[in-house]
């Protein structure tokens, strides 16, 4: 009875979709979701909770998050005239951008494999998502992209830069060629900026059809949910109309205000993670049966050849280590897995477990 009603009322695209699956990670060494492994010191925690005492939870949040806006603008050295808006994670910003598309131009494009939310949110909104395969080495297939732009006329093109799950940052000159070739909006998603240490922010001034996203999630505040969208006032003004007025709660605003004063701490952690990433990579490529790709993010993509990725993933889970199995998600990711860089002990535990699984 209820089923009949549900299937009549809900969009077919949603009925057909699978819910985004987040595995239960209790008791695991969690290296599957690009989280920062470091917890705050008691001293920082005490300062933070003191900040939260200012919250007046009987009132609605500051809809403009003005204090946060001011502090971020100062901390981020944005190009002059750049407007910004906040999302409940950059996931929400992707959703907002897609919601704004004109009905007559509903093609969304991205190279693939890439961050799954671009495709997932597009299909739930019944937009036409076109994934253009990357080259075998995960570089951008510029000719294929330009060709797809010509034939499909996308309204929006998403580039995760560096790309998730491959870890590489596409050639910037190729990206600029694409920006020039499309009449659509190009979204540069710099979720891994802290680990790549480069930015395409300068493109905001150079090209009228570019906006750029960042997030605090991968830097160390995945639990906070704060995404940022930067771009010309004309773009941001429209997207801001689609934002629910109180999408960033008071506690989140106060917490973000606090942590921006302590950005140096997060940047130090990111430097440690970049350092550990190189060490993990160097060990990983020495394990027989492993091919790994250099990464500019806080994770490493690798392929196993002497066992299936499914078997490796399962056996790691039996050893209480959780990483991401990408086998079956895209033809280019056959027998591929992705491991997040954790603390030194976590990385060592993972490397020891993987060696033993592959030699067994």
Ligand X SMILES: *Cc1c(COP(=O)(O)O)cnc(C)c1O
Among 61, 89, 113, 220, binds ligand X (CB under 6 A): 89
Helix (H, G, I), strand (E, B) or coil at 165: coil
Q: With binding defined as CB under 6 A, does residue 115 bind ligand X?
A: yes
Strand order in the sheet with 290-292: 290-292, 299-304, 336-340, 324-325
Q: With binding defined as CB under 6 A, does residue 170 bind ligand X?
A: no
Tokens representing residue 186 in the block: 């190009």
Question: Taking the alpha carbons of 169, 171, 173, 175 in that order, is the dihedral positive or negative?
Answer: negative
Q: Of 71 and 214, which CB lies nearer to ligand X in the complex structure?
A: 214
Q: With binding defined as CB under 6 A, does residue 32 bind ligand X?
A: no
Q: Of 188 and 357, which CB lies nearer to ligand X in the complex structure?
A: 188
Q: Of 34 and 248, which CB lies nearer to ligand X in the complex structure?
A: 34
DSSP 332-344: GGTTEEEEE---H
Q: With binding defined as CB under 6 A, does residue 97 bind ligand X?
A: no
Q: With binding defined as CB under 6 A, does residue 195 bind ligand X?
A: no
Q: Of 34 and 254, which CB lies nearer to ligand X in the complex structure?
A: 34
Report whether the peptide linkage leading into residue 162 is cis, meaning its omega lies within 30 degrees of zero. Answer: yes
How many Å apart are CA 238 and CA 236, to the nearest integer? 5
Q: Of 302 and 358, which CB lies nearer to ligand X in the complex structure?
A: 302
Minimum CB distance to ligand X, residue 141 (Å): 19
Q: With binding defined as CB under 6 A, does residue 189 bind ligand X?
A: yes
Among 36, 215, 250, 283, binds ligand X (CB under 6 A): 215
How many Å apart are CA 33 and CA 340, to the nearest integer? 7
If we measure between CA atoms, which residue out of 328, 327, 344 comes closest to residue 336? 327
Among 227, 255, 258, 333, binds ligand X (CB under 6 A): 227
Minimum CB distance to ligand X, residue 214 (Å): 8
How many Å apart are CA 91 and CA 77, to the nearest integer? 23
CB 207 within 8 A of CB 199: no
Q: How many residues does the chain have?
A: 360
Q: With binding defined as CB under 6 A, does residue 91 bind ligand X?
A: yes
Binding site for ligand X (CB under 6 A): 34, 89-91, 115, 160, 164, 189, 191, 215, 217-218, 222, 227
């Amino acid at each position: 009875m209820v089923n009949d009603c549900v299937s009549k009322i809900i969009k077919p695209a949603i009925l057909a979709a699978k819910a985004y699956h987040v595995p239960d990670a209790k008791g695991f060494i969690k290296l599957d979701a690009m989280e920062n492994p470091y917890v705050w010191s008691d001293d920082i925690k005490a300062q933070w909770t003191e900040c939260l005492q200012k919250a007046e939870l009987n009132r609605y949040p500051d809809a403009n998050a003005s204090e946060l806006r001011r502090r971020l603008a100062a901390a981020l050295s944005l190009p002059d005239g750049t407007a910004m808006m906040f999302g409940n994670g950059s996931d929400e910003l992707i959703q907002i951008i897609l919601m704004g598309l004109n009905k007559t131009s509903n093609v969304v494009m991205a190279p693939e494999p890439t961050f799954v939310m671009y495709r997932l949110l597009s299909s739930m909104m019944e937009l036409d998502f076109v994934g253009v395969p990357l080259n075998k080495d995960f570089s951008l297939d510029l000719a294929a992209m330009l060709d797809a732009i010509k034939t499909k006329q996308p309204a929006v093109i998403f580039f995760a830069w560096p790309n998730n799950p491959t870890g590489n940052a596409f050639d910037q000159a190729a990206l600029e060629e694409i920006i020039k070739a499309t009449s659509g909006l190009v979204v540069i998603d710099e979720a891994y900026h802290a680990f790549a240490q480069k930015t395409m922010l300068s493109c905001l001034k150079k090209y009228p059809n570019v906006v750029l996203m960042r997030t605090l999630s991968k830097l160390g505040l995945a639990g906070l949910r704060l995404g940022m969208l930067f771009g010309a006032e004309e773009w941001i003004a429209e997207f801001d109309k689609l934002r629910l007025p109180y999408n960033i709660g008071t506690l989140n605003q106060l917490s973000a205000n606090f942590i921006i004063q302590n950005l140096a701490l997060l940047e130090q952690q990111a430097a440690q993670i970049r350092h550990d990433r190189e060490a993990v990579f160097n060990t990983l490529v020495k394990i027989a049966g492993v091919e790994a790709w250099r990464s500019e993010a806080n994770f490493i993509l690798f392929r196993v050849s002497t066992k299936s990725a499914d078997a490796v993933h399962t056996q790691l889970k039996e050893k209480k280590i959780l990483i991401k199995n990408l086998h079956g998600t895209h033809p280019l990711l056959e027998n591929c897995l992705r491991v997040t860089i954790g603390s030194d002990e976590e990385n060592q535990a993972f490397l020891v477990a993987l060696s033993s699984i592959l030699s067994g």
